[in-house]
């Protein structure tokens, strides 16, 4: 039995092709080789942060939802660990699969490792080298605890080697988030979302949810000022992550006639909106990768990125709050420029991961 632990929005997008490929490889073998169990920690729980992804991405209904909800880092991580320890002891999985860099990821890896259950980490080796980001702490620790490390980007292999992770554990397989994107290309109906949200031909999509951008009211207010300035250039549509909702709204985010605030969008509507955008302004990890493949200029409001391949190969640029307006002006004036698809971002990461997992477990 393979147990997948999922908790937050980006986990769902990354896990869907892996779970599907593991089911398919089992069927191809002519019968059930090993079962899969999907545990939802409940870290994200709003319909629009969770259920919509299960429906749209064909994820199986979770076998259990731990219902931990929100809390401080310690409270949330500890609640997930306590509930998962019981689950793993009862079910004795052969392998625990974890995704990305969220608190559910580190909680699951830590519990599994202490119970001597092997861990597979999908999206291993990414590094921002910024330990003020909770995700960087989670990534580094999960990689130390993992037996199988699935890497989306070549430089991640070097990061893992530098941290003493044995090369035999590391597998460069491509990017399952891009599997999900490519397999839904026909579903992204930009005209329909533009009509539904009353968007003009040329618009900007903005998403912000990093603690460094939205937790401090003063920093958030500075970003709101810049978002108003870019709204003078083109309409801004912003599906607001629940983390920043209160602070950004109190800073007057919707006090501009060309800023349109939305609830978080489901995957299909969100990517359709991004696909039609003239520019995307974001601090999301996944959106940097998706815009690279869609060829949409991406301005990432962060001092660093753990995904440098989106800059070297894709359409991504890092910007400061102060640099945002000129960067948007430039992006609106030019086309997205040359871009190259990063190696193995070809829609086949899920099957590659499934093959390595099955072979490793068959031992
Ligand atoms: C988490 C991840 C982050 C990831 C993001 C994806 C960690 C440390 N952070 O951040 O890496 O980029 O998910 O979206 O794991 N809330 C709701 N409804 C929900 C979920 C959250 O209202 O369904 C609100 C709560 O007020 C909560 C806050 O959002 O306190 C933050 O949620 P949390 O899961 O702790 O972290 P995210 O900011 O979502
Ligand atoms: N996303 C979505 N609806 C939204 C915003 C984002 O479906 O309103 C998708 C996005 O396309 C990507 C994933 O959620 O697949 C990224 O999640 P998020 O930005 O929350 O997390 P991060 O990637 O920063 O960890």
ipTM, 2 dp: 0.99
Atom of ligand 2 nearest to the CA of 271: 11
Q: Residue with the nearest Cα to atom 38 of ligand 1?
A: 243
The average pLDDT across 288-306 equals 97
User: Six-digit token pair at 118?
Assistant: 């092997």
User: Over the stretch 220-277, which tens digit does the pLDDT of each residue have?
Assistant: 999 999 999 999 999 999 999 999 999 999 999 999 999 999 999 999 999 999 999 9
Q: Could you say which ligand is closest to the alpha carbon of residue 139?
A: 1
Distances (CA, A) of 260 to 44, 169, 220: 24, 46, 17
Which domains does the chain show, CATH number per domain? 2-174+348-362 (3.40.50.2000), 189-333 (3.40.50.2000)
Residue from 16, 133, 262, 270 to probe ligand 2 pocket by mutation (most atoms less than 8 Å from CB): 270
User: Six-digit token pair at 157?
Assistant: 């292999």
Nearest residue to 216 via CA among 242, 248, 261, 239: 248
The whole-number pLDDT of residue 336 equals 66
Q: Are 301 and 281 in contact (CB under 8 A)?
A: yes
Q: In what order do the strands lie in the sheet with 316-318?
A: 259-262, 235-239, 203-207, 279-282, 298-300, 316-318
Residue from 6, 7, 8, 10 to probe ligand 2 pocket by mutation (most atoms less than 8 Å from CB): 10
User: Over the stretch 59-104, which tens digit does the pLDDT of each residue have?
Assistant: 999 999 999 999 999 999 999 999 999 999 999 999 999 999 999 9
Atom of ligand 2 nearest to the CA of 283: 24
CA distance 185 to 180: 9
């Amino acid at each position: 039995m393979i147990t997948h632990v999922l908790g937050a929005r980006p986990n769902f997008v990354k896990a869907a092709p892996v779970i599907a490929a593991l089911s398919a490889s089992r069927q191809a073998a002519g019968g059930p080789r090993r079962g899969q169990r999907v545990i939802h920690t409940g870290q994200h729980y709003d319909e629009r942060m969770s259920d919509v992804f299960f429906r749209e991405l064909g994820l199986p209904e979770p076998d259990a939802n731990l219902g931990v909800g929100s809390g401080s880092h310690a409270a949330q991580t500890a609640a997930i660990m306590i509930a998962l320890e019981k689950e793993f002891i009862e079910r004795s999985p052969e392998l625990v699969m974890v995704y990305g860099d969220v608190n559910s990821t580190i909680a699951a890896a830590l519990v599994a490792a202490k119970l001597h259950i092997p861990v597979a980490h999908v999206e291993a080796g990414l590094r921002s080298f910024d330990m003020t980001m909770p995700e960087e702490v989670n990534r580094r620790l999960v990689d130390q605890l993992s037996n199988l490390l699935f890497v989306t980007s070549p430089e991640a292999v070097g990061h893992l080697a530098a941290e003493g992770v044995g090369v035999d554990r590391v597998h460069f397989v491509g990017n399952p988030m891009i599997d999900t994107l490519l397999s839904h290309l026909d579903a992204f109906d930009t005209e329909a979302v533009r009509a539904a949200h009353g968007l003009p031909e040329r618009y900007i999509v903005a998403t912000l949810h990093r603690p460094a951008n939205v937790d401090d009211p003063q920093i958030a207010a500075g970003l709101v000022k810049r978002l108003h300035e870019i709204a003078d250039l083109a309409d801004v549509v912003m599906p607001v992550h629940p983390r920043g909702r209160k602070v950004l709204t109190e800073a007057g985010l919707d006090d501009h006639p060309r800023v349109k605030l939305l609830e978080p969008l489901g995957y299909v509507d969100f990517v359709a909106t991004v696909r039609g955008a003239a520019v995307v302004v974001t601090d999301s990890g996944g959106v940097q990768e998706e815009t690279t493949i869609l060829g949409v200029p991406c301005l990432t409001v962060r001092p660093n990125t753990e995904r440098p391949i989106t800059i070297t190969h894709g359409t991504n640029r890092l910007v400061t709050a102060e640099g945002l307006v000129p960067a948007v002006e430039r992006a609106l004036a030019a086309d997205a420029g040359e871009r190259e698809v990063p190696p193995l971002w070809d829609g086949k990461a899920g099957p590659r991961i499934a093959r390595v997992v099955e072979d490793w477990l068959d031992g």
